[in-house]
Structure 1
Amino acid sequence: MRSNVDFSPFYRSSVGFDRIFNLLENSTQPQGSDRWPPYDIVKLGEDKYRIVIAVAGFRQDDLAITHEPNLLVVKGDKSVDEELQYLHHGLALRPFAHRFELADHVSVTDAHVDNGLLIIDLKKEIPEEMKPRRIAISGMGKTISGESSNQVKDSRAA
């Protein structure tokens, strides 16, 4: 059994990490025992990911993928044929919903069904203005003693 961890001390020394702490707090709560249908999450490269969900028996029309901010929701709902009388019903075609928390700037690039697998490709695309950039440091500032940096260079040269 997990106990709740108090993340409040971390809030003092961090800015903008509220979402991460909320994810950590929510991860300690039970998500439900039903993990059907099974799925894989694969890292294909530095910024490419793939989610593969086993959806045998579902058609494309039975599946729905919704991309909300930082959340990917995959739902499946198989329409039931009332005219059929099953002698044995072993295929689990019950409705399902999977929710995947996505990092910032992750988008869905492709989704398709192949051999009973729903394949969802994701890519992390950081906007140009969000990428790290080098900041130039100007040399016209004052040194600790109050002299300009040019005067300090001149006095050392003499």
Structure 2
Amino acid sequence: MRSYDLAPLYRSTVGFDRLFSLMDQVAGFEQSAPSYPPYNIEKTGENAYRISLAVAGFTEADLTIEAEPNSLIIRGDKATGAPRDGAYLFQGIASRQFERRFQLADYVSVTAARLENGLLHVDLVREVPEARKPRVIPISAPAGQAVEHLAA
């Protein structure tokens, strides 16, 4: 595993320590992350995203979606139903339980979830509060200087 030194970035950033900690966590977590079920993350708009998980064989009752601050947890637990009449000659469709965790950025929330054609789609949107949006700060000069500049 390759380690990156983020120290030079600390000199030119303010308040990003949490971001750098998250990057360190993700770098270590990805090596041991499970690969089931496979998923896609797509950007569907300027501030809209969709996570799609391949959950063939699972029903709505078998799936749980839990949104916490800055994280999304999707669990699948296949209910053990009545035994089938026949025996499997080959079972290639996985039906094991899983838990998949996603780290969400600030102000990202879940808006909808739907199950169609064996894919679980979870729609997310990033809504930054007005108080947190960028704003232009006017630069003002002392009153006496502004009058002199206009007179000249």
- TM bracket, shorter-chain basis: 0.7 to 0.9
1:7-156 correspondence to structure 2 within 5 Å: 7-29=6-28, 30-32=30-32, 34-81=34-81, 83-84=83-84, 86-88=87-89, 89-140=91-142, 148-150=144-146, 152-153=148-149
Deviation at 1:19, TM superposition (A): 2.3
Q: State the superposition RMSD in angstroms.
A: 2.2
Deviation at 1:120, TM superposition (A): 0.5
Deviation at 1:9, TM superposition (A): 4.1
Q: If you compute each CA radius of gyration, which structure gives the higher value, 1 or 2?
A: 1
Structure 1's 149 and 93: CA in aligned 2 closer, same or farther, altered over 3 A?
A: same
Q: Quote the Cα distance in structure 2 between the aligned partners of 1:67 and 1:33.
A: 20
Name 1:145's counterpart in structure 2: none
Q: Quote the Cα distance in structure 2 between the aligned partners of 1:119 and 1:23.
A: 25
Higher fraction of helix: 2
Q: Quote the Cα distance in structure 2 between the aligned partners of 1:34 and 1:131.
A: 36
User: Structure 1: where are the runs of 5+ without partners?
Assistant: 142-147
Q: In the alignment, is the contact (CA less than 8 A) between 1:4 and 1:25 conserved in 2? A: no
Normalised by the length of structure 1, the TM-score is: 0.82
State the secondary structure of the residue aligned to 2:58.
coil
State the secondary structure of the residue aligned to 2:112.
strand
Deviation at 1:20, TM superposition (A): 1.7
| Larger RCO (CA under 8 A, 6+ residues apart) | 2
Deviation at 1:122, TM superposition (A): 0.6
What is the percentage of aligned positions where both structures have the same residue?
46
Name 2:2's counterpart in structure 1: 3
Deviation at 1:78, TM superposition (A): 0.3
State the aligned residue count.
149
State the secondary structure of the residue aligned to 2:32.
coil
Q: Quote the Cα distance in structure 2 between the aligned partners of 1:80 and 1:59.
A: 12
- Higher mean alpha-carbon deviation, 70-79 vs 25-34, is at 25-34
Q: In the alignment, is the contact (CA less than 8 A) between 2:70 and 2:106 conserved in 1? A: yes
Paired amino acid for 1:6:
D
User: Structure 2: where are the runs of 5+ without partners?
Assistant: none
State the secondary structure of the residue aligned to 2:49.
strand
